[in-house]
Amino acid sequence: MKHILIGLLICVNYSQILAQSNKRPNIIFIMSDDHAYQAISAYDQRLISTPNIDRIAKKGILFTNASVTNSICAPSRATILTGKHSHLNGKVDNHFKFDTTNITFPQILQANGYQTAMFGKLHFGNSPKGFDQFKILPDQGNYYNPDFITKNEGNIKVNGYVTDIITDMTLDWLKQERTPEKPFLLMYLHKAPHRSWLMAERHLDEMTQKTYPEPKTLFDDYSGRTSPAKEAEMNILTSMSWAGDNKIYPATMDSLKIPEIGFDKRRFAAEMGRLNPSQKANFDRVYDRINAEFIKAYPSMTEQDKMRWKFQRYMQDYLGTLRSVDENVGRLLDYLEANNLMENTIIVYTSDQGFYLGEHGWFDKRFIYDESFKTPLMVSWPSQIKAGQKSDALVQNLDFAQTFLDAADIPAPKDMQGQSLIPLMTGKSWKRDAVYYHYYEYPAEHMVNRHYAIVTKKYKLIHYYFSTDAWELIDREKDPLELKNVYNYPVYASIRKTLHKQLDALRLKYKDNSTISNGYIDRFLNDAVEGKV
Ligand code: SGN
Ligand code: CA
């Protein structure tokens, strides 16, 4: 009798466990805006410690070769949601609205019984489809006292700091709106650390007094590559603005006769104009000190000193915004842990692309050189993915849609172009030899020429077109800093030939037959001329 009872108990427990493990997982997609992997301690400890973000990697898998298909905000988000390259989903650049006739994975999850919510930055120019709840920033959004477009409350303004607010909204939804019987998809999307890098008041004193190591290529002169690297307008010395970015007062600029870079003074005034009196007093206190020190130092500064000074101010502010991202990710993880929501939840931490933190003398992104082409990616799912893994597989933001549908056991539409990462993360076979990249936003801010490329673990073959017609071949193993174009070196002749063939095949596979100009861009430009957009 006793044995039968124990047997029954085991059976009940076993079937409960089975039911639990067969339950479709929750999905929490955490994405920051412009978060460089160099600024996550799970990847690199030189700049900042991010203990909370690192918790996700420790519990799951850290990808060291994750990349985007087009290194810019809205196109990356469109690729994530549609599982398609930019030329097929139509969101080739930041300028035009997302085409909402695209089918996105949240729509599919919602139609299959998932509860769905999105909080933070989307940057599509329209509201997302497929969400039971959303509160999104209009366009780029603001760091202080931001406005939100909401699904149920119209447009609202919330006092406080954007990273804290987006997290409050996310936690409130989990606590008050979640239906426990349903699996959920939660997209938790930070504005930070996007330009113009305003940190939370609580980090100002500490973060504006630190000094950071310079990257090896801070003084890159762009020789050794074709013309686009030199022509881009994202050099810290020549394109980062004194007031708008480095928070030198317009009056200080006037007194030192420093010319404006871009809409320097106007951008500074717009940011400061959003602060309430107590926020402003905190910023003034810190900026007064920075300006007083700068006024003393500036007259004897060489051009190199100016570059160094700007780099330090850039790092202080950029990394300052990440302190609160890390704290707030910690708040979310603490809540999930305390409420037994970790085991069967897929948690992703990523960015819409990487970012240059002084490498090649740059800030911003767009180029295919590693720091902006690659993006941070870590995934935990304790019930299915072994903890503490590292993978150098060539995964992309293109893969998320199919990964999430696969995890929920829903067949993906045939025209999605990625590959589920579930087999890879659970130790089964997974293969990809090369990825495809295509950047379009030119002519535009930062002036990064259009280019497409094939990237393997060993090489990058890049075609810059539109304002120039130039090929680059980068040997990733021999030249990790990506300073030398070896396209015309005779020893690379056969590698070049093979890569050309592979690139042609990839363009065919992904159906990208745009050559000199892009069909979608031209269509949109024509529409714009005719007043249709
Ligand atoms: C703004 C920034 C740019 C940045 C784009 C795109 N300028 O225009 O530096 O490249 O956003 O960023 S700013 O003067 O307005 O700060 S993205 O992340 O949305 O693609
Ligand atoms: Ca971005």
By alpha-carbon position, which residue is closest to atom 16 of ligand 1?
195
pLDDT value of position 522: 55
Strand order in the sheet with 459-464: 435-439, 451-455, 459-464, 470-475
Distance between Cα 73 and ligand 2 center (Å): 4
Closest CA to 48 of 199, 220, 228: 199
Q: Name the residue at shortest CA distance from atom 13 of ligand 1.
A: 195
Residue 132 φ/ψ, nearest 5 degrees: -70, -25
Q: What pLDDT does residue 515 have?
A: 52
34 lines ligand 1 (CB under 6 A): yes
267 in contact with ligand 1, CB cutoff 6 A: yes
Element (H, E) at 471: strand 470-475
Task: Please name which ligand lies nearest the alpha carbon of 233.
Answer: 1
CA distance linking residue 52 with residue 61, whole number of Å: 15
Q: How far is the CA of 332 from the centre of ligand 2 (A)?
A: 22
Q: What is the pLDDT of residue 490?
A: 98
Distance, in Å, from the CA atom of 98 to the CA atom of 325, rounded to the nearest integer, reads: 27
pLDDT of res. 331: 98
Residue nearest to atom 4 of ligand 1 (CA): 364
Using the atom order of ligand 1, give the atom closest to the CA of residue 195. 16
Q: How many CB atoms lie within 10 A of CB 257?
A: 6
Distance CA 245, CA 247 (A): 6
* Residues of the chain under the 70 pLDDT cut: 1-22, 514-533
Q: How close is the Cα of 399 to the center of ligand 2, in Å?
A: 18
Structure tokens at 155: 């447009």
User: How many angstroms does the Cα of residue 255 sit away from the middle of ligand 2?
Assistant: 34
In this structure, which residue's CA is closest to atom 19 in ligand 1?
73
From the CA of 351, how far away is ligand 2's center (Å)?
Answer: 7
Based on C-alpha coordinates, what's the Rg of the chain?
Answer: 24
How, if at all, do strands 451-455 and 435-439 pair? antiparallel
Buried b (16+ CB within 10 A) or exposed e, 433-470: ebbbbbbbbbeeebbbbbbbbbbbeebbbbbbbbeeeb
123 lines ligand 1 (CB under 6 A): yes
How remote is the CA of residue 3 from the centroid of ligand 2, in Å? 61
Beta bridge partners of 470: 464
Question: If DSSP codes are grouped into helix, strand and coil, which group holds residue 255?
Answer: helix
Contact 516, 442 (CB under 8 A): no
pLDDT tens by residue, 168-221: 999 999 999 999 999 999 999 999 999 999 999 999 999 999 999 999 999 999
**Closest ligand to Cα 72:** 1
> CA distances (Å), 286 to each of 255, 300, 345, 430, in order?
19, 23, 41, 51
Residue 22's pLDDT is what? 59
Is the beta carbon of 446 within 6 A of some atom in ligand 1?
Answer: yes
Buried b (16+ CB within 10 A) or exposed e, 269-283: eebbeebeeebeeeb
pLDDT of residue 96: 87
The pLDDT score that the predictor gives to residue 17 is 41
pTM of the entire predicted model: 0.94
Please state the ipTM of this predicted complex. Answer: 0.98
